[in-house]
Structure 1
């Protein structure tokens, strides 16, 4: 398909980037609505969390198969079908009257959404000449950052003015417009979807992928709430995940027509880059998870305020994406960008570890700016390095696997943050409670003052001391979680400090302009 010019080119940019933002926005917009959903659907928060888990499982299953499905059905047909599927599922999510009905439609929405994210970039790249595809990558990168960032802010605004159903209904007009624009402006590639009869489907590989990766994602998403390996279900699904993944690896390395080409792991650069991607995913997703929890639980932000506080630093840093993309398209080496991105994350982690409970929204701006600058500097170079040692025909498989591993790294990072923060909070609470002793004169003085204040406020002198003690205990718990979240930010910094020395393992020869263009095109086609 020839590169587009003028109006058609901008329409394709708007369509594909909007589709990617919409899919990524739906990964975070639901997070702020769990309490309202639980009340409306007469369910517990633990059960409603399945609304998030089902979407994540569907995403991580479908992403590595998008290259195969696009080739089998034809990219435009697959893209349109996924768009319609996402829109229809969004409607039924909003119309759901029961929890498990909603969970089912969220899973369907995740299947359509995974394809939108993976295919949009390929279509976007085809609209640009090879020499400009670095800019296209930068534009798409902006969408990747904006989607998850806008989710909590938009979700919080909708909840303040409407109901949780509107969170899903907002997708429908975007899907309708994007579908119409896709039909009119996005062309089919030559021979697209005409090789269906020649392609053999690896049903066993697909089944093992669904079982293994689906079970692993479930364990990572639900492990903390189920008390990890104290739960028979988590133990069982961990075994299922291990068997499924090992079986999938064996199947894909012994069949002539694998659904995912695992042969790319024979290349040293790719193998090291996937480890790098996994660890980077842990840091990236953990940092975006901990901050909203901290400011809502400790600083008293509403969900809308927490989301809004992320928008300004993201918009300030997101302009770096097209700049980095243009520099890399001109042949600039990726390693310096990656090193700078890691250093920004190290600084972000330790800087965030100095936050205080009385900080306002704008007080968090400098540290969140460090985080988004780190994302901007790290993400695009890492995507390029993931395929730097591969042959052009192997790029699609390499990038699909990298995307899946990044998603799994994110799930692992959130699970790690949950577990680490919970354990650290318990330790800090124990340490702080040790000071709440009658042998401590400061404690006795504080308790006496609070008892008098409580008696004055309530008029209940008999229970004033008990109420004052409970109030102090609640303050201790809040302080314990505050310290635990700061520890988690520092843990993020430690992850990136440990990652930094291994950057040299990803060093490759300098690419020519033609090789950069070919890599950019193949990177897009893998999505």
Structure 2
């Protein structure tokens, strides 16, 4: 441990060098996270210019997410093989070059391939940036370092849609990729100039590398991610491809667990999950990702689909929430440094997130304005601020040595998977709940009801005044009534989603009591030694 302490001290930076390293690491994490959501508002433009179907263009998101989640658990191992600075710099270069290639893609499948490569480079940036930024700070300031890193990870998903909308409105979709290029070049230069690598033990030879572990991991996560992304639009298990990939995912998971437990040099060290805090922490990270990405997904869709907002306005709605999270992060860092138990902060964070979801449940109507959603979204920002850093530090608090880096990879992977599950489950339930509420509403609006007849007559008269015949006006009146029913059913489905999300977060609070008090300040400097 003495040697590790010496190396740790060698990695601590002060003054200008630490500022540059911090900016570089946060910038890289932010680039990776923003690119997860920035394309969402540009899919229509891509579809038109590349001549693709909606199903094809959805692969632009899916390919990036699959590559992301595959590479995250391997990051600790890859850093040891190639040296952290070299691996980080190479990942930025891969991300930057593939961003250029994405912008120059001439057809949809070129774009999908380049997005997959971009995701392979981007996924590595998350966990590596977390370790680099934390190691650059002395032990007493590492809570603050985690908070600074967390700012980028939490704010990133929210910045994507408005930034993407602004770029598409003012230029064209390739520029959502081109903006990465100058930032990537600067980050690469700073990484090579300022970032240090810890000393590692002996590297594995080619015949010692856990190739089967890599194959099984890619099969498990790649297939699972595809099923989650495409399950709803392909009618889940009514589709043969979804069934086949579900089987592949399950088989690959079992084979991967077996391989990692018996192989001498596993690509992912599953033994680290024996730690109770890490096991509970990964579950909480999953649920936090579910809430973070799920609400980032559902709120813009609600404002566009129900309230008729343009994409840019829908994206801008989430900015105050992100700013609140950014404001909270340094405060959370200070609280951790002063020894306030993270369990209290996480419990309060989950409670605040429940208040946010219950508030949204109560204010949702077909006419809800931005002024009604401002304060609930501020609550969301507060809740996420109280969750990210405390959950991460709690999860890693009883680990030592390189197990910390391996644990950090698990928490990162579970946060991303939670987001994928959240988006898939929410989109499925919106569809199912809407159908259910539509049936209920139609049963309460019989044609023989006097109020319904009055409404039909009013609508018919309105259409006739615009020059339509009685037959045409009556048909349009019934169509308008059907549209109003579907709209109301959809609003009710969104209300259900927020209510169930809130209950999920409320249920988590007792589990926090199972967390053991660790050493409080996680020494990420030991992560790779």
Quickly name the TM-score band, shorter chain normalised. over 0.9
TM-score, structure 2 normalization: 0.94
Q: Cα distance, 1:199 vs. partner?
A: 9.5
Rounded Cα–Cα distance in structure 2 between residues aligned with 1:120 and 1:266 = 25
Per mean C-alpha deviation after superposition, the further-off stretch among 104-113 and 214-223 is 214-223
Per mean C-alpha deviation after superposition, the further-off stretch among 320-329 and 71-80 is 320-329
RMSD of the TM alignment (CA)?
Answer: 1.9
Match of 2:140 among 131, 136, 140: 131
Is the contact made by 1:70 and 1:78 (CA closer than 8 Å) also made in structure 2? yes
Partner SS for 1:29? helix
Rounded Cα–Cα distance in structure 2 between residues aligned with 1:115 and 1:339 = 30
Partner residue in 2 for 1:238: 246
Task: Kindly report which structure 2 residues correspond to 1:368-517, keeping only aligned pairs within 5 A, or say none.
Answer: 368-509=377-518, 511=519, 516=521
Rounded Cα–Cα distance in structure 1 between residues aligned with 2:14 and 2:402 = 27
| CA deviation string 1:87-117 (max 9, x = no partner) | 1111111111111111100000000000111
Q: Does 2:185 align with 1:181?
A: no
Rounded Cα–Cα distance in structure 2 between residues aligned with 1:108 and 1:338 = 35
Rounded Cα–Cα distance in structure 1 between residues aligned with 2:339 and 2:525 = 15
Rounded Cα–Cα distance in structure 1 between residues aligned with 2:148 and 2:467 = 59
Is the contact made by 1:60 and 1:213 (CA closer than 8 Å) also made in structure 2? yes
Task: Kindly report which structure 2 residues correspond to 1:298-313, keeping only aligned pairs within 5 A, or say none.
Answer: 298-313=306-321
Is the contact made by 2:393 and 2:522 (CA closer than 8 Å) also made in structure 1? no
Rounded Cα–Cα distance in structure 2 between residues aligned with 1:154 and 1:22 = 12
Q: 5+ unaligned residues in a row in structure 1: which ranges?
A: none
The count of residues paired between Structure 1 and Structure 2 equals 519
Rounded Cα–Cα distance in structure 2 between residues aligned with 1:227 and 1:205 = 31
Partner residue in 2 for 1:255: 263
Q: Cα distance, 1:279 vs. partner?
A: 3.0
Match of 1:340 among 333, 341, 348: 348
Q: Does 2:155 align with 1:151?
A: no
Match of 2:203 among 184, 189, 195: 195
Rounded Cα–Cα distance in structure 1 between residues aligned with 2:382 and 2:526 = 26
Rounded Cα–Cα distance in structure 1 between residues aligned with 2:154 and 2:276 = 29
Q: Cα distance, 1:460 vs. partner?
A: 4.1
Partner SS for 1:463? helix
Per mean C-alpha deviation after superposition, the further-off stretch among 388-397 and 469-478 is 388-397
Task: Kindly report which structure 2 residues correspond to 1:51-200, keeping only aligned pairs within 5 A, or say none.
Answer: 51-189=60-198, 191=199, 195=203, 197=205, 200=208
Rounded Cα–Cα distance in structure 2 between residues aligned with 1:260 and 1:390 = 16
Per the alignment, do residues 419 and 175 of structure 1 end up closer, same or farther by CA in structure 2, a change over 3 Å counting? Answer: same
TM-score, structure 1 normalization: 0.94
Q: 5+ unaligned residues in a row in structure 2: which ranges?
A: 1-9
Is the contact made by 1:17 and 1:139 (CA closer than 8 Å) also made in structure 2? yes
Partner SS for 2:208? coil
Is the contact made by 1:283 and 1:495 (CA closer than 8 Å) also made in structure 2? no
Rounded Cα–Cα distance in structure 2 between residues aligned with 1:353 and 1:115 = 37
